[in-house]
């Protein structure tokens, strides 16, 4: 048996880089959506991505999550060398599997299945993962409660307010315990009070569970809930601001 050697260079979970992009370039026809993006995202960090419409925010999110493969550059995912994968080097099937097991997604509109109740919507990813219905419903109910929706479990999306529907979508994205939550303007369709409510719950749950969050937003108030803000402009990350010294507690 080999002897394990403790070193002081092993990063603690909350400071380890989890997602790392280098030289990302994405072109759609003649449009250069990303023109060389370098970005490191730490485990447990909540990052707000801001920038004008058409600047490349959604494309960046898609490239980081392996939804699209960049024309150039790399995306590394993993907090230790042994578990790190180059997402861009994976084939379509492996990327789809990684998205299912490790990532959660929330979008601005139309994510809930309209014919299903809130609890059925939230249990979908668990059922797809092979969980028994009874267990899936129990877990879905827990997550709805966590997002303040215990009373709405049996309601359909049309019976929910916009803010409630977004919280159901967040519960569905988090129910599988993803390591990274990608949210593309999740509060974009909400009034400011509902948006704030959603951000409070989202960031509380993320910090409790140590989930890393990347959230695209146009709204400075929504961004103020993040640990760090980055600005995308003309396909480049032009700035990063630390908004708060407190990252998820250890």
- In the complex, which residues of this chain contact ligand ADP (CB under 6 A)? 28, 31, 33, 51, 53-59
Reading phi first (left if > 0) and then psi (alpha if -120 to 50, else beta), residue 146 is in alpha
- What's the token pair of residue 75? 């995306």
Residue 73 contact among Mg ion, ligand ADP, none, beta carbon within 5 to 8 Å by kind: none
CA-to-CA dists, residue 63 to 55, 56, 111, 184, 237, angstroms: 14, 10, 20, 13, 14
The residue nearest Mg ion at its CB is: 58
109 contacts which partner out of Mg ion, ligand ADP, none, CB within 5 to 8 A by kind? Answer: none
Nearer to Mg ion, 19 or 50 (CB): 50
Instruction: Give whichever of 185 and 196 is closer to ligand ADP, judged by the CB atom.
Output: 185
- Residue (54 or 177) nearer to ligand ADP, CB: 54
Of these partners, Mg ion, ligand ADP, none, which one is at the site of residue 2 (CB under 5 to 8 Å by kind)?
Answer: none
Nearest distance from C-beta of residue 49 to Mg ion, angstroms = 9
Which residue is listed with tokens 């479990």? 153
Is the Cβ of residue 50 or residue 131 nearer to ligand ADP in the bound state? 50
Is residue 187 at the binding interface for Mg ion, with CB under 5 A as the rule? no
With a CB cutoff of 8 Å and minimum separation 6, the contacts of 85 are: 76, 77, 78, 98
CA dist 215 and 48 (Å) reads 5
Q: Least CB distance from residue 55 to ligand ADP, whole Å?
A: 4
Residue of the chain from 58, 76, 187, 203 that contacts Mg ion (CB under 5 A): 58
- Describe the crossing of helices 133-146 and 162-174 by its angle, rounded to 10 degrees: 130
Distance of alpha carbon 59 from alpha carbon 119, whole angstroms? 31
- HSE-up (13 A, CA, CB side) for residue 90: 21
- Among candidate residues 137, 212, 148, the one with its CA nearest the CA of residue 174: 212
How far apart are CB 32 and ligand ADP at their closest, in Å?
8
Smallest gap from residue 40 Cβ to ligand ADP (A): 20
Shortest CB 234 distance to ligand ADP, Å:
9
Whether the CB-CB separation of 163 and 190 falls below 8 Å is answered with yes
Tell the smallest beta-carbon distance from residue 92 to ligand ADP (Å).
17
Alpha helices in the chain (DSSP H): 57-64, 92-102, 118-128, 133-146, 162-174, 192-209, 220-223
Rounded to a whole number of angstroms, the minimum distance from the CB of residue 67 to ligand ADP is 11
Q: Which is nearer to Mg ion, 58 or 211 (CB)?
A: 58
Which of Mg ion, ligand ADP, none binds 31 (CB below 5-8 Å, type-dependent)? ligand ADP
List interacting residues with Mg ion (CB under 5 A).
58
């Amino acid at each position: 048996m080999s002897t394990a050697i403790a070193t002081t260079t092993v990063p603690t979970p909350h400071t380890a880089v989890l997602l790392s992009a280098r030289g990302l370039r994405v072109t759609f026809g003649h449009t250069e959506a990303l023109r060389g993006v370098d970005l490191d995202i730490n485990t447990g960090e909540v990052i707000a991505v801001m920038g004008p419409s058409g600047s490349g925010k959604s494309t960046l999110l898609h490239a980081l999550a392996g939804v699209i493969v960049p024309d150039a550059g790399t995306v590394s995912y993993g907090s230790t060398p042994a578990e790190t994968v180059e997402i861009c080097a994976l084939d379509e099937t492996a990327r789809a599997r990684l998205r299912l097991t490790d990532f959660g997604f929330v979008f601005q509109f139309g994510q809930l299945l309209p014919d299903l109740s809130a609890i059925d919507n939230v249990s979908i990813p668990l059922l797809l993962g092979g969980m028994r219905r009874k267990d899936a419903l129990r877990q879905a109910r827990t997550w709805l409660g966590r997002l303040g929706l215990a009373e709405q479990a049996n309601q359909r999306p049309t019976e929910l307010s916009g803010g409630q529907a977004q919280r159901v979508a967040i519960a569905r994205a988090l129910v599988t315990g993803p390591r990274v939550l990608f949210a593309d303007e999740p509060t974009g369709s909400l009034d400011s009070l509902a948006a704030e409510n959603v951000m409070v719950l989202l960031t509380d749950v993320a910090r409790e569970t140590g989930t890393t969050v990347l959230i695209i937003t146009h709204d400075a108030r929504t961004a103020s809930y993040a640990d760090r803000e980055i600005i995308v402009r003309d396909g480049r990350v032009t700035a990063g601001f630390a908004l708060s010294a407190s990252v998820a507690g250890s």
